[in-house]
Structure 1
Amino acid sequence: MSQQFKYVIRMFGQDIDGTMKLPYALATVKGIGYNTARAIIRNLNLDSNLRLGELSDSDIKRIEQQLENKVISNVPSWMYNRRKDYESGTDMHLVTSDLIFYARNDIEREKKSKSWRGVRHSIGLKVRGQRTRTTGRVGYTIGVSRKKVTQPTSSSSSQKSG
C-alpha cells in the first residue's frame, strides 16, 4: 500500500509544508514548540524522522485530536503553555487562535482592574521592567536640530564708492 506524498497539509486551520520533518512541521503552528512537538510525536508512537507529507490522514487526525481537548496526555504540567487558567484553574495547552484569544482577554482583564501591567499596556509602554529611556521609542525620529547658517554679508562691496 503506497501512499501519495502530500506537499501541503491543512492542520489546525493553517497550511503546513509537507516536506518538513515532523517535529519542525508541528513547531510552525502557533503554540507548539519543538519540544512540545516531540512530546506529541512520542505519545502517538510516530517516527520523528518522517516528513509530514508521508503521514496518513488518520495520523494527521490523531495529531489534531491530541490537542483538541487542550490537554496533552503523558506530559508534565510544566510543559503546558497556559497553567492555572484564570477562569477554570486547570492546566491547558492552547494553539492558534485560542492562544491569541486567551492572551488578549488577559490583557483586557488587567486593563480593567487598573493593575500596573494593565496601565503599562494601555499606555503602550514596556510591561516587564525593561528600560525605556533609550529603547522602545516609537514615532518619528527627530534628531538634532541646528541653527541655519547664513553667509555673512559684506557691507563694503554693497556700497557705492564715490
Structure 2
Amino acid sequence: MDQEEEIKYFVRVRETDLDGTKQVQIALTGITGVGRHAAKIIAEQASVNSHAILGKMSDEEIERIRAAVENYAESVPTWMLNRPIDIYSGKSRHLLASEVPMTLDEDINIMRKVRSYSGIRHETGQKVRGQRTKSTGRTGTTVGVKRKKN
C-alpha cells in the first residue's frame, strides 16, 4: 500500500501563513511585497521546484525557501526591489510582510510634517495623484438635484 504524504495546510514564512495546498510560486505571493516574478526567483534561489505543492515539501526545503526570502534583496538587482532608495539609510531595500504598510504610513506622515502638496491632500482626504474630483471621489452626503413637490 502507498503511504499518502501528509500536507501541511499552513506554512509560516516571514510572519505570514502561506497556503500549503498551492504551488510554491503561487503560495509565496501571499507574502505582502512578493509578486509572481519575485516568487519565481525565490524558488530558483532556494533550488526547489516552483510548481511543487508547498505543503508536501520537506522541512529542509521550506527552510531553504525561508532563507531565500530573507536574502532576496541582496541577490537581485536594485530595479527589482520595491524600495530602491530608502529615505533614512539611502540604501536599497525590499520590504516584506508587516514592513510594507508600516513604511507607507511613515512616508505619509513625513509628507504631512513637511507640508508637501501630497501630504496636505492626504490630510484632507482628497485625491493625491491628480485625478479629477468634480464628479468622483465624493464622500458624505449626496449632492444632487431636488425635485419640486407638487
- TM-score, normalised with respect to structure 2: 0.88
Unaligned runs of 5+ in 2: none
**Match runs of 1:28-43 below 5 Å:** 28-43=30-45
Give the CA deviation at 1:108. 0.3
Task: State the superposition RMSD in angstroms.
Answer: 1.9
Name the SS for the 1:27 alignment partner. Answer: helix
Residue type of the alignment partner of 2:62: I
Identity of aligned residues (%): 41
Alpha-carbon separation, structure 1, partners of 2:16 and 2:104 = 20
- TM-score, normalised with respect to structure 1: 0.82
1:67 corresponds, among 38, 57, 69, to 69
1:34-56 deviation line (CA, Å, top 9, x unaligned): 00101111111111110111222
Q: Which has the larger radius of gyration?
A: 1
Moved over 3 A (4+): none
Do residues 130 (structure 1) and 148 (structure 2) align? no
Larger deviation, residues 54-63 vs 130-139: 54-63
Give the CA deviation at 1:141. 2.6
Unaligned runs of 5+ in 1: 150-162
How many residue pairs get matched? 148
Aligned partners of 1:83 and 1:90 also within 8 Å: yes
Give the CA deviation at 1:140. 3.2
Aligned partners of 1:40 and 1:72 also within 8 Å: no
Give the CA deviation at 1:3. 5.4
Aligned partners of 2:23 and 2:53 also within 8 Å: yes
1:7-51 deviation line (CA, Å, top 9, x unaligned): 222222232211111111001211110001011111111111101
